[in-house]
Copies of this chain bind each other. A is one copy, B any other.
Amino acid sequence: MSKELSYLEAIREALAEEMRRDPKVFVLGEDVGPYGGAFGVTQGLYDEFGEMRVVDTPISESAIIGVSIGAALRGYRPVAEMQFADFISCGFDQIVNQAATLRYRYGGRASVPIVVRAPSGGNVGGGLYHSQNPEAWFIHRPGLKVVAPSTAWDAKGLLKAAIRDDNPVVFLEHKYLYRRAKGPVPEGDEIVPIGVAATRREGADATLLTYGAMVTPSLEAADRLAKEGVEVEVIDLRTLMPFDKAAIFASLDKTNRVLVVHEDVKTLGLGAELSAVIMEEKFDALDAPVLRVTYPDTHAPFSHVLEAFNLPNTDKITAALRTLVAY
């Protein structure tokens, strides 16, 4: 059984269902209460669950995350909303030093089951502080998990998985997809497991690794290549930390060629790690270098002209795929 929902509605439904299922789940953040969140994700939750479980907070990102950690230590499962992923930098210390290390420094005697929801990504004219893709900082920090769904289905299933996960999870919701990505979503209590990639398109000629808003242009580019007789396997990583090495390697064994596409900047974006891991462990399987199509090493400009220059798109991905298969 499934129904059609937008990516945003799917997230809302996951929150509502988890809150109904488990009284320990609650949400907090700026404007998440009666207003329903800057994007409307939490609309209706305040009416259903009340102000103790749908908490409007002061503008205090560090406290929002710290309060979540404190509650998590007492068995709660807080879901903290950053109004924009960009503001996560204001609560950075609580995530990387407090949450990420707690289990380790407690000798394994405690865990921090929080989710930090972060509306990320560009292509919405948001400019420097409403377009960021902060995943790499958190992938780099041991003790955290990082998730970035691309479909409504996954947004729902992964958010449920993240809430039930006993570790701190940074949950990147791509703003561009909120209302644009629509699709089937399971009716019931279906989970999309953390750490498992999804093959969106099969192909034996090249592997394309991507996630989030880059899945659609990647699929479009693959379609273009298909017209030229080249079959590209498109893998949606879905979880960025831990990423699904088995799925990546299995595809690579078949195709011997890999392109990574992400919206984050190039230098030390996730593509760097994927490339390096493939280099280390799969060198002999490679018929060509792993290539990357990414945002250039710059900030997210507001002007449409400038933003379009930066964003990876179907054309850029197509060109890179051609280079890759021609290698």
Contacts and interface: CB of A to CB of B under 8 A. Distances in A.
6 contacts: A104-B298, A136-B136, A140-B267, A268-B273, A272-B273, A280-B290
SS of A interface (majority): helix
A57 interface: no
Contacts of A308: none
Given A86-B97, A143-B299, 17 more contacts: A89-B93, A89-B96, A89-B97, A90-B93, A105-B299, A139-B268, A140-B265, A140-B268, A140-B269, A142-B297, A268-B270, A271-B276, A275-B275, A276-B292, A279-B289, A283-B286, A283-B288
Contacts of A142: 265, 267, 297-299
Contacts of A241: 267
Contacts of A269: 140
A104 to B, nearest CB: 5
A35 interface: no
Copies of this chain per assembly: 2
Given A128-B101, A268-B272, A289 B299 contact: no
Interface of A: 86, 89-90, 92-93, 96-97, 100-101, 104-105, 128-129, 136-137, 139-140, 142-143, 241, 265, 267-273, 275-276, 279-280, 283, 286, 288-292, 297-299
Contacts of A286: 283
Contacts of A97: 86, 89, 128-129
Contacts of A297: 142
Contact of A104 (B101, B270, B299): B299
A219 to B, nearest CB: 23
Nearest to A127: B105
A280 B289 contact: yes
